[in-house]
Amino acid sequence: MGNWISALALFTYAAAFSFAYVDLSAGTGALLLFGAVQATMIFWGLHKGERLDAIQIAGLVVAVTGLVILVFPGLSAPPLIGSILMLGSGVAWGVYSLRGKGVQNPASVTAGNFVRAVPFSVVVWIFFLPWAHVDPAGVGYAIISGAIASGLGYVIWYSALPGLKAASAATVQLSVPVLAATGGILLLGESITLRYVLASVAVLGGIALVVVTLHSQDQTASRVEESRS
């Protein structure tokens, strides 16, 4: 299962993301990454005939504003190379997400894409081998976070995609920084700040406006089709 185009998109996302964060701050990287994901998936949805009404556009703006509030203290003028890599990573993840909308077996497809991405990773590893420093703890963390945690997350994401339009799927992903910040509070004992609360309300509220409105549109369209038949 899986296919080479999706595997290449997955590899490009992970590799570009990793190298970009060598130069970028967390906040700047998050904005560039999710901005590129949003643009890729929403533009594709518009190309395929999806349309956003005023409420959905407002929800998207509110969600993006919440993201800016959440990462604002970490923003800085981004280096050119790092910015290009992060934008490329966002586009690649958008492509990978869009290609998952029609999959029938998310677990098998995700496993196949991971396996097919290995040759690309090996080529990069060989190229950078002269500068590599292998740390056993680092290898262990990479396996746990990459092959296990990310793999499971991608299976869940591919399972959810068939029920989402491109615009909805793009907007939902803005919740990731909020979830990461929440994890820091619950697992690492980080403090709850007013900025976190306001940003979370804005992001999750904006997502709700987009998703709920699209769901209502789908229900209305279904009722129209039923009445015609």
Output the DSSP codes for 186-227: HHH-PPP-HHHHHHHHHHHHHHHHHHHHHHHHHHHHHHHHHH
- HSE (side-chain half, CA atoms, 13 Å) at 150: 13
Q: Give the C-alpha separation, 37 to 94, whole Å.
A: 5
Which residue is it, tokens 């987009």? 210
Q: What is the pTM of this model?
A: 0.79
Which residue is it, tokens 């420093």? 133
**So what's the pLDDT on residue 225?**
55
Q: Give the C-alpha separation, 24 to 76, whole Å.
A: 8
Q: Give the C-alpha separation, 24 to 8, whole Å.
A: 23
**So what's the pLDDT on residue 77?**
67
Handedness of CA 143, 144, 149, 152 (dihedral sign): positive
pLDDT digits (tens, 9 = 90+) for 103-160: 888 888 988 999 999 999 999 988 888 877 778 887 787 778 777 777 888 888 888 8
Q: Which residues, given as ranges, of the chain have pLDDT below 50?
A: none
